[in-house]
Structure 1
């Protein structure tokens, strides 16, 4: 063994040697304050982006549970496709068309195409959050909207053409409506319309588009004679819970900062959903004497839809009114498809279209200048502040949104249906088998029938027969 002393370890250099830490911190703070970027506000919007993201598969599960089992997977897939297609569209042109600094009151320019100039600089008057964070937050809104609309085409609309529809619809319908509502240069924004989180761009536009889609496709085979029952109420509840959970980011995040106004938006969102769910559930209880989970979930979503445009403008007492009115009127609106004999398979128009209109109108009545002042912003308010013209602004925005979305969507679908390869409706045989098998080649459910023999002396088991059977808890259809 050697008695030589081990060499002394080389000291690790200090990266801050010679650096004035106080000066460094001051320089970083000065750099951050150049654009007024606030880390707390930015973190809240990033979290809200993730919350709105989870709403998109929530829509899929909500719709999937209400459909028949042979179409369950296709509705979840359509929601995921909407997220993917719109993410590309938003990056390429969508964000620029919706939030670009256009001179028109109706549509933006392409200055921010492919996210050019979208980075740390604040955009669209949002001073506390980097432009790229704002763009990604708004991307989630753009992605969920066509996913909502396509629900009316459930069980008979082909999936492949819907990819093209989502891209075209987002460009021609969603982006202009988002521009005029939320862009500082939009006509509705300049007029004084109040839409905190998407009553017109998201809900009215998707509801009107759903109505157009249902009319173009026609009714499902067996509509009016067969009973179309939801196949999995547990999935409906799961989807509704994901939507409710994500809606805190949908509405609370629309404050675009983490202030008390964002907290108030979350409070009224939760209260309107609760009251809406109870109202719808009790309305149906009077008929069936059953507390239906489907009824409660439908009412909760109706309450969430209605409170969306007013969530940053109203207080908690008004949220109760939003929940009650939307629960009653959206419940009654479901009957419109029977009165006018159209097949909106999942009641998208009744819940989102009618619910969005209700929300816009009630916002004109209950918008409170004191709530908005929580962020230091001054507005005239609504009827409760004696600002009578506000209701007119809200109605103008609603009527324009319904008309534009319905007419343009109808034209898009009408033209697409004439293009070879893009026909919208599945053929009768595919519809009878289910879109999961015919459009995806995969099924949400499999049932295995297995006959097993057991040796009573040794306990040994042996499979005698095994057969995979597609789950068919659905109405049988005959192809003539």
Structure 2
């Protein structure tokens, strides 16, 4: 039985093995509310990614967001929480003390003595669930959906859990070294963004890469905006909730989160305006996400003036980083590496510069030496070490997972050419994001062109998505 009573303020008083303490009901309520806020971010990612793609692949991204929640929820119950946050963890990864959530109930959490482990567990589950969804956006338009169930489970176990352990578990090497990462610069954004790069390189380029066939605009800008709204809204729980308490530090985290997103959106939009003299809502949304990514590690450590610089630098650096895929010729469909990996590094570096002991101490508990602003010069080196370690580890292990699955029958991620032509929604799901799309069935036209077998789309997509221009279709000899 759980041995708890209530004090005069109706807060929970616990007595565990002779150790007594108090769980604040306000802190529990805020953490649980933040859990719900972060949950809504995951389908938000799905809508954001879906809107940026062609409509024949629109539903797959929304599906993947829900699938990721389900798979990681089981993985977290099975052993994910224990691997990341067990008390007996090594400097790198935890043990299986809490396998199957055994014993995870009323005892104080490893994150805060003011909330029980069960509350901390479900809150951290949301971070574990959104991270692989950010990464697998890299499979857009060219992956089989079934093997992704396995990939998400394995990736969460071998990549996310160790990085979360060394960053947030008090036994982790980065935490012991003094790394500052309030809400997931390395475990969430650097790990997922770098994994997206590994996935993009493994899957290869989409059909028609470098031609007008892929020079399409987002099929549903409204979805992009809706996804951004869900993400921005949920990020108050993502960053503010990471204080694990309803206090001044959580309030400051919410303020700097909103400010960095606003400045990041405006900055990216203005950089895009200089090119086409158009006020791009997609550009604004992209910049807002970049600002949110960058402020994540520093949100509980920096003040409002610094948040303006976080937003500006993220909107600038991430905007220009989207050109890396053209320089190095890899097909990162949704610019995940540029927005999340690069944005996470920007956030970690700026945290090392602008972290303040006074901001962190606003919760009345946390004591840190601060960053350069507090004349703690080595903090920048610690932040860089953490960033490089997270990026290197995620890229190498993700690549190993992908190629291991490549040689296991039935687990290869890359789809065939016909699936890519007619769309993942039709080929893999038999369902569509919009009813009217399903009314106009796309039947591949098979034949030969200059002796080469061909299969082209029908009328669902405009001509840029077809394998041959309309003028060339006359030359196709029916099979």
Say yes or no: TM over 0.5: yes
| Distance in 2, Cα, partners of 1:448 & 1:387 | 58
Equivalent of 1:334 in 322, 326, 331: 322
Shift of 1:275: 0.1
Please tell me whether Structure 1 or Structure 2 has the larger radius of gyration of its CA atoms.
Answer: 1
Please tell me the root mean square deviation across aligned C-alpha atoms, in Å.
Answer: 1.9
**Change beyond 3 A, Cα 1:26–1:309:** closer
The DSSP-based 3-state class of the residue aligned with 1:361 is helix
Match of 2:355 in 1: 367
1:427 aligns with 2:413: no
1:396 aligns with 2:385: yes
| Distance in 1, Cα, partners of 2:285 & 2:268 | 9
Match of 1:463 in 2: none
| Distance in 2, Cα, partners of 1:29 & 1:245 | 29
Shift of 1:101: 1.5
Match of 2:33 in 1: 47
Shift of 1:31: 3.5
Q: Which deviations, in whole Å up to 9, do the C-alpha atoms of 1:201-231 show, x marking residues without a partner?
A: 0000000100000000000001100213210
The DSSP-based 3-state class of the residue aligned with 2:436 is strand
**Change beyond 3 A, Cα 1:244–1:26:** closer
Give 1:114-133 correspondences, 5 Å limit. Answer: 114-133=100-119
Q: Which deviations, in whole Å up to 9, do the C-alpha atoms of 1:139-161 show, x marking residues without a partner?
A: 00000000000111100011111
Match of 1:295 in 2: 283
**Change beyond 3 A, Cα 1:284–1:448:** closer
Shift of 1:41: 0.2
The DSSP-based 3-state class of the residue aligned with 1:142 is helix
The DSSP-based 3-state class of the residue aligned with 1:35 is strand
2:56–2:424 Cα contact (<8 Å) kept: yes
Shift of 1:37: 0.7
Shift of 1:474: 6.6
The DSSP-based 3-state class of the residue aligned with 1:31 is strand
Shift of 1:56: 0.2
**Change beyond 3 A, Cα 1:449–1:174:** closer
Shift of 1:103: 4.4
Gaps of 5+ in 1: 1-22, 451-468
**Change beyond 3 A, Cα 1:289–1:378:** same
Match of 1:453 in 2: none
2:7–2:13 Cα contact (<8 Å) kept: no
Q: Which deviations, in whole Å up to 9, do the C-alpha atoms of 1:364-398 show, x marking residues without a partner?
A: 00001110111122211000000000000000000
Match of 1:11 in 2: none
Equivalent of 2:216 in 228, 232, 238: 228
1:283 aligns with 2:271: yes
TM-score computed with the length of structure 2 as normaliser: 0.89
Q: Which deviations, in whole Å up to 9, do the C-alpha atoms of 1:159-207 show, x marking residues without a partner?
A: 1111000000000000000000000100000000000000000000000
Aligned residues: 440
TM-score computed with the length of structure 1 as normaliser: 0.89
1:76 aligns with 2:62: yes
1:88 aligns with 2:74: yes
**Change beyond 3 A, Cα 1:417–1:327:** same
**Change beyond 3 A, Cα 1:234–1:473:** farther
Equivalent of 1:31 in 13, 17, 20: 13
Q: Which moved more, 1:403-412 or 1:123-132?
A: 123-132
Shift of 1:36: 1.7
1:445–1:470 Cα contact (<8 Å) kept: no
Match of 1:196 in 2: 182
Q: Which deviations, in whole Å up to 9, do the C-alpha atoms of 1:318-369 show, x marking residues without a partner?
A: 0000000000000000000000000001000000000000000000000011
Match of 2:167 in 1: 181
Q: Which deviations, in whole Å up to 9, do the C-alpha atoms of 1:394-416 show, x marking residues without a partner?
A: 00000000000000000100110
The DSSP-based 3-state class of the residue aligned with 1:447 is helix
Shift of 1:478: 2.7
**Change beyond 3 A, Cα 1:470–1:375:** farther
Match of 1:462 in 2: none
| Distance in 2, Cα, partners of 1:323 & 1:101 | 36
